[in-house]
Amino acid sequence: MTKQAQHLGETVVITGGNTGLGFACAQAILRSPYCAQWHVVLACRDLERGQNAVDALGSRGAGAGQVEVMPLDLASMSSIRAFAKDLATEIDAGARPALHALVCNAGVNPASTKTITEDGFETTFGVNHLGHFLLVNELLPTLQTPGRVVVVASGVHDPAQKSGVPAPAWNDVAALAKGELGPLASSDRALRYGQRRYSTSKLANVYFTYALARRLPSGITANAFDPGFMPGTGLMREAPAPMRFVGKHILPHAIPLLRRVFSPNVHTPAESGAALARLVTDPQFATTTGKYFEEDREVRSSEESYDEDRAAELWNASLALTKQTTRR
């Protein structure tokens, strides 16, 4: 018997699984009829918040050993490399089932204040794109077939969606990593510039997904997922106080109204978490790759997101920025 054969089932890693969409996705996977033997790793920057989530999932029916927390800070390349190494070592030692799925869910929307990661990247681009780019590449040797990578993007990457968030302002990748947006943002004030950094990072998520799908070996898929607008998660935690208040206390109670007057693509985290879990686990998506999903529906992403030259440029620049020596 091989070491891995001691375990039935498969491991799925969910970044930022301690709250919001990631937590709801973990819960849906643990309840899914396809996932009776799955082992969920919540990859979290704060172990206490992660353990609280593990306890909450346990109290809602997750069996012992089915869910655990591991430390991962996507704002730190050393933390990302340590996470990938520890996970690979534990799987190799038979302490966990083989890795078959990775959900790149964690994200930040730091509004107006520019902050920098430990490696010197602007935080929105550094966490939302570069952190996940490095994590996926570090975990690829551990990811088994059949395997799935799902990247949580957002409809805000697409100006045609009229989400209210300013459109991405793409720029040279080295400039984006420093937090400098393209000309479209030149007259933005600080708050709008911050929102544009977020939509630009979500466009990077879509380029990354498509470029990844073109490079993955057969049997491993990569798709992007838009959960829609989910009022009440922690994503607005750095927004100005009035926006935070409305986002936390008013909009979550107005979802049916928002669907009618704003967009049908407004959901609770539980609804979007269940849709994300289906993309990760449902056999109907086993061979779907390089696609963009709005909830369960495969739709087209923005026109500019299909620019393959730009996606390749982002891939190569991201390899250099994250100092990966093996060219993929």
Ligand X SMILES: NC(=O)c1ccc[n+]([C@@H]2O[C@H](COP(=O)([O-])OP(=O)(O)OC[C@H]3O[C@@H](n4cnc5c(N)ncnc54)[C@H](OP(=O)(O)O)[C@@H]3O)[C@@H](O)[C@H]2O)c1
Q: Taking CB positions, which residue lies at the least distance from ligand X?
A: 20
Task: Give the largest CA-CA distance in the chain.
Answer: 64
Closest contact distance (angstroms) between CB of 39 and ligand X is 19
Taking CB under 6 A as the rule, does residue 224 contact ligand X? no
Structure tokens at 142: 């551990």
User: What's the CA gap between 250 and 231, in Å, rounded?
Assistant: 9
- Give the amino acid at 179: G
Taking CB under 6 A as the rule, does residue 75 contact ligand X? yes
The answer to whether the beta carbons of residues 301 and 224 sit under 8 Å apart is yes
Residue whose pair of structure tokens reads 């935080």 in the numeric block: 123
Structure tokens at 276: 């994300």
Q: How many CB atoms lie within 10 A of CB 70?
A: 18
With CB under 6 A as the contact rule, the residue among 3, 8, 36, 46 that binds ligand X is 46
Residue window 81-110: x/- pattern of binding to ligand X, with contact defined by CB under 6 A: ------------------------xxxx--
Closest contact distance (angstroms) between CB of 83 and ligand X is 10
CB nearer to ligand X: pick between 127 and 280: 127
Give catalytic status of residue 34 as yes or no: no
Closest contact distance (angstroms) between CB of 195 and ligand X is 12
Stretch that binds ligand X, among 17-25, 56-64, 238-246, 308-316 (CB under 6 A): 17-25
User: What's the CA gap between 84 and 142, in Å, rounded?
Assistant: 8
The answer to whether the beta carbons of residues 17 and 25 sit under 8 Å apart is yes
Closest contact distance (angstroms) between CB of 165 and ligand X is 9
Marked catalytic residue, from 193, 198, 207, 292: 193
Taking CB under 6 A as the rule, does residue 234 contact ligand X? yes
- What does the DSSP 8-state code read for residue 155? G
Structure tokens at 163: 């989400």
With CB under 6 A as the contact rule, the residue among 12, 20, 196, 258 that binds ligand X is 20
Using CB under 6 A as the binding rule, the residues of this chain from 175 to 214 that contact ligand X are none
- Cα Rg, the chain, nearest whole Å: 19
With CB under 6 A as the contact rule, the residue among 12, 16, 84, 101 that binds ligand X is 16
Residue whose pair of structure tokens reads 């798709």 in the numeric block: 223
The SS3 of residue 83 is helix
Taking CB under 6 A as the rule, does residue 168 contact ligand X? no
Distance of alpha carbon 24 from its chain centroid, rounded?
13
Closest contact distance (angstroms) between CB of 255 and ligand X is 11
With CB under 6 A as the contact rule, the residue among 25, 235, 274, 279 that binds ligand X is 235
Structure tokens at 279: 């993309």
Using CB under 6 A as the binding rule, the residues of this chain from 109 to 128 that contact ligand X are 127
Q: Strand 99-104 relative to strand 143-152: parallel, antiparallel, unpaired?
A: parallel
Taking CB under 6 A as the rule, does residue 74 contact ligand X? yes
Structure tokens at 253: 């109670």
The answer to whether the beta carbons of residues 100 and 72 sit under 8 Å apart is no
Compute CA distances 177 → 64, 116, 172, whole Å: 41, 10, 9
With CB under 6 A as the contact rule, the residue among 10, 11, 13, 18 that binds ligand X is 18
With CB under 6 A as the contact rule, the residue among 73, 122, 158, 294 that binds ligand X is 73
CB nearer to ligand X: pick between 193 and 229: 229
Stretch that binds ligand X, among 69-77, 169-177, 213-221, 288-296 (CB under 6 A): 69-77
- Give the amino acid at 37: Q
The answer to whether the beta carbons of residues 38 and 57 sit under 8 Å apart is no
CB nearer to ligand X: pick between 98 and 121: 121
Q: Which residues bind ligand X (CB under 6 A)?
A: 15-16, 18-22, 45-46, 49, 72-75, 105-108, 127, 152, 154, 227, 229-230, 233-235
Active site residues: 193
